[in-house]
Homo-oligomer: A and B are copies of this chain.
Amino acid sequence: ILFCILQGANEEKPRKRKLDKTRQDTLYFDSYSDNIESLRGKVVLDVGAGTGLLSVFCVQAGARKVYAVEACSIAEQAVKVVRQNSMEGRIDVIRGAVETVELPEAVDAIVSEWMGYALLHESMLNSVLYARDKWLKSGGLILPSRAELYIAPVADPVVEDRLQFWDTVKDQYGVDMTCMSDFARKCIMNSDIRVNSVTVEDVLAHPARFAELDLSSVSVEELRSVKGPFRCTSFGAAAVNAFCVYFTVTFPCADKPIVLSTSPFKAETHWKQALLYLDAPVDVVQDTVVAGTVSMYPSEDSIRHILWNNVVTCPYLHCSTDRCQ
């Protein structure tokens, strides 16, 4: 997460990606520059400051003081960035976990780029909430202020390609490898959360929102089970073999909120989309209702099977089986 805001610099092949990095950075930057009035003169805490860029943005947006808390050694780079931008007096880089560091004062606002894959997968949100409860003044600002989770049924051609491959070996080499298909499918089901770009053509229905987090009030306890119902209506005939989950986060602004969306219908971001595979594809036709309940929770268990029974289990951190027949 450290580098997400500047993730364009950390990707393998910038030349070959479709990623509109500028858009994402700009969104983040706009959210702070457009919050000039709300940050002006304020004392700000940057949770997981990384290279310190967000802290610099806050000063540019008028913050009086920024505490840039960073647990990793990248904090040393943040110190250099602060110095290079002559902001030593305005930004204090504090190396340590936000749960244990001491600040000289309570803060008016908390900023952070805490989002993980599928929002909550290895996210820093718990640390942000801890910091909120400990250091944010009553009625203080938290940026972003809201997060929303969406789901949509998809037909991921990659999986079927991978499984079909085993059927082609016989024709090609005269070796019957069809028995590998089941094993390969189980490998896909049991693998860690899969993050990939879902192309628009593979999305089979308008995505449905199933959860919303108000970051000024949500508790760590509530994050242990983020769930909600969803209902989608399929565009046309297709085989659903997965669900994709993505998120938006919102920054309140004077005129209208700024929304950073990781939807497959928007420009690609670092977060792409999370994919949850079904045990087996399910055929739908036009206007088939695909509805159910999504449940996201942390789990030690890395096994996750999704059965087609109106229930989608989408755990974060790790994933666990919900064999509901």
Contact = CB atoms under 8 A, between A and B. Distances in A.
Given A77-B183, A180-B81, A196 B12 contact: yes
A53 B175 contact: yes
B15 A174 contact: no
Q: State the majority secondary structure of interface residues on A.
A: helix
Given A57-B173, A174-B60, A176-B85, A162 B9 contact: yes
Contact of A176 (B84, B177, B180): B84
Given A53-B177, A179-B77, A10 B161 contact: no
Interface in A40-54: 51, 53
Contacts of A183: 77
Interface residues of A, number: 41
Contacts of A8: 165
Nearest to A55: B175
A173 B51 CA distance: 14
Nearest to A177: B81
Interface string A19-48: 000100100010000000000000000000
A107 interface: no
Given A178-B84, A180-B51, A180-B81, A25 B162 contact: no
Given A22-B172, A180-B77, A162 B85 contact: no
B25 A166 contact: no
A172 to B, nearest CB: 7
Contacts of A165: 6, 8-9, 14
A257 interface: no
A227 B157 CA distance: 44
Interface string A66-81: 0000000000010011
Q: Which of A14, A77, A179, A196 has the most CB of B within 10 A?
A: A179
A158 interface: yes
A158 B15 contact: yes
B57 A184 contact: no
Nearest to A163: B9
A56 interface: yes
A280 interface: no
Nearest to A162: B9
A286 to B, nearest CB: 25
Given A25-B172, A77-B180, A81-B176, 14 more contacts: A9-B166, A10-B162, A11-B162, A13-B196, A15-B158, A51-B180, A53-B169, A53-B177, A57-B175, A60-B175, A80-B179, A81-B179, A84-B176, A84-B178
Q: Which 7 A-B pairs have the closest CB atoms?
A: A9-B165, A80-B179, A84-B176, A56-B175, A84-B179, A14-B161, A85-B176
26 contacts: A6-B165, A6-B169, A6-B177, A9-B166, A10-B162, A11-B162, A12-B158, A12-B196, A13-B158, A13-B196, A14-B158, A14-B162, A14-B165, A15-B161, A25-B173, A51-B177, A51-B180, A53-B173, A53-B175, A57-B173, A77-B179, A77-B180, A81-B175, A81-B176, A84-B176, A85-B175
